Structure 1
Amino acid sequence: MKIASLLSTLIALFIGVAGGYLIGQRGGTDQDAGAKKSQSGETSSSGIGSLAGTSKSSSKSSKTTNSPTEASGSNLTAEAKKLMSSGDVTEAMKMILNSPGSISRMEALLDFVKELEPDEVELAIDEVGKMARGGDMFMSMGLLMSRYAEIDPEKALEFVGTRDRMTRGWGTSSILRTWASKDPKAAADHLTKQMDSEGTDDWSMRRTASNVAKEWAKQDTNAALAWAKGLPGEVKGDALGNIIEQITTEDPLRAAEVAMSFEGEQQERSFRTIADRWSANEPEKALKWAEGLTVEGRVGVMEEALENWVREDPESTVAYLDKMEASERDSIMKEVVEQWARTGGDATVDAANWVASQADGEGKVDATGEVVGQWMRSDPEAASEWLGAQPVGDARDRGVAALLRDRSVREDPSTSVAWADTISDDKMRSEYVERSARSWLGSDRASALEYLETSESLSAEQKTKLIELPADQLQRGRGDDFRGRGRRPF
């Protein structure tokens, strides 16, 4: 298997199984009483984990185990297979997952798993289930579930149905996705029966249906659409969304034609998906298509394309934005600026200066808060200096609010209070000063009390309440000797 193909397969499995793990987490970690025990004998209390522990298998098995550096490629797989056949599942998995080199390890694991028989897959799944949660565990579990699904998907589903809730969560989704890649109708029929008996009020069910729909769309778009349209509620929406995403990768205009047959929120959601995926490669074409739409939510669809375009060509994107109607530009400015500022470096500075050049309005206010928030993560001193030079008004106030949410500023209460005092809106200023002063009282009470004596941002009642707060209700900062990353506003 080529490296690119191998990586794509394993990354997809990793994401799918990791997502399944999160599903399983919702249901707790209780183990079913009838869980099948591994035939490998007793293992260390930590399970395989990172495979740093030592197995307590027989000395005979230990003697026949080659070190990872002694066995490589097909030899390593063959040795691991021998251990597996002898019943030493722990040592077999340990040999594979301790082999040197990330790519070599992936290849060895894939070669090992694809030769396993159903009973061996079951033993390996139980063994991997003892591992610490992480990359090796997710990768191994995904491959094992896929292998079982290729051999006998119905038996695989029956097996994971007897396991703990986490294994059921990731196992069912992974098996059905693999089954759908070979026989999507059979997988879809099974899932439909499952939904009829168990209901659809479950995020894992929605996710699984989406995966089946996407796999089916790769083979027969019309059949996948017909099935998805018959699904209930949110399951239907997610499945149709994945089908649209798949069609877009091959033919964006065909995807748009299909989406046009949808209604309401489903249609708008699909159009946004098309614009996002299409503009990742051809932003100008995607934007031109979105611009020509006559449906409600057209500007939001354009926004998706502009967000991708601004990362690739901010100059052209800004030129386009400047020609838009002010109301339309205001409605999407925040999101576009967010993507622009995230690029970092000069792009963040350019984004901030462009926002500052805009006419006052809701768009400028929202975008100022966004650009300051992004900038504080990369260069807080530059962000503070730029913000301090902005004219008094709603936009600057929103920027100050974003700055005050930065952890380093929150942990420097005196600086936090100084910034909060510059907010022009009385109600907003009072709120942020009170919050910052509370933290200051917890870290440097003497200095905070001195400030409160002369503060005009708080009422007498607010000052009294703050001063009388018990120590356990004060938000403690880092102390007077701590200097945050952001500069004071003067």
Structure 2
Amino acid sequence: MTNRALITGVLSAAVTIAAWAIAWPRGSASRNPSSVPEKETHPTPPRIDPTSTITALREAKTPEEKLAAAARLHLIPVERIPELLESFPVMENKWPAFATQALLIRWASKDGAAAMEWLWKTLPDRSYFPSASRDIRASWAWHDPEGLARWAEDHLQRTTPDEKPPNDSSPKIDSSQLSQICLWLVPHDPYLACTLRKKAGGSFSSQDVALAQAIPTVEKVRQALRAYDDLDQLSSTKISGHQMIPMQLLRRWQELDPEDFARSPYGHVMPVSVHGGDYLRKNAWRTLSAEKRANHANAIISGKDGDGRAAGIYQIASQWAEVDPAGTASWLESLPRSEAKQWAGAVSGVIAPKDLPRALALLRTQEPAAYRSSLVRAFDAWTKQHPDTPADLSGQDELTQQVWRDLQALGRE
């Protein structure tokens, strides 16, 4: 497998796990990429020979060799990175070499804007920029979330997909990339993430559902809600486009602490769901036959447009899976592959904790870059519900098993 495939394909033990080893804030016990611990003081690192480290990165073949080589990069002074990038061929088949990607991730931990600018100017084909910069943005989010948020707002491409950006001398990101940045930011700073998402505008998507689901506590949900005005106008019976995310935040609050939510000023908003009475409570799903469940689910989403369809799929899957995870997975599998972005979040967040082999089989049918993120979310969902139970991955391919082991190892650090 080439370095490009390792980076842009499924989550790679050789690249992404090594990237996390490079960028991970020292002393952190959290595996959540948006969790930025308090700064710690550390002794002055030993002097190393940057040339030998670069050579080790370039010559490493196995995931273990690459991880070991990448783990030494935190000893290289960041100010040396620009000159080091001039010392070897930085691209392989128009794609950043592993050593290049590792240095950029290290650079982004101190100066994300400079790392992004360098990549933008150096890539032979800028259509690769969104996926080539993914781990760089993640590293930046861990260390300087406010700086990344400012950069994302300044570099958001506000033209339509058919229009050429007015200036290609600096990086541009689209709304999908911005939503991904918000996902990195939200567990650390929900207000910052939701403020950035609100400024970007655009249509509601499954990533916005995931944005709310990534918030870990009620207090952080309250922080996120501060980003929105007119919350007293929210109603589950009539939702306009700009209210979709606040409603998802209220749903998350309700999930985290139903009693606290019921006592809040918004307790009357969602007696059943965030989209009104066309959804069923858990016990109602239990009373329907398998065929009627699928028919009812299809009827619910058939009348919804792009703004509501993703949230509808996630909501249905969350309720249905409580009583019939196998049937829920079958229904999700029946949805068009072209709508993978709509159902992938439900598969990784809802099905994976209940039926991991089925979930991984579904997620594996996505495009490689999408599987990359889905696998991390599936790992998070599984470990949250089964913190002391190892996952049975005996039927999975070697790469997935290796990634899972590396994620577990990072969680224990």
More helix by share: 1
The question of a shared fold, defined as TM-score above 0.5 by the shorter chain, is answered with no
Query: If the length of structure 2 is used for normalisation, what is the TM-score?
Result: 0.44
Query: If the length of structure 1 is used for normalisation, what is the TM-score?
Result: 0.39
* Highest RCO, 1 vs 2 (Cα 8 Å, sep ≥ 6): 2
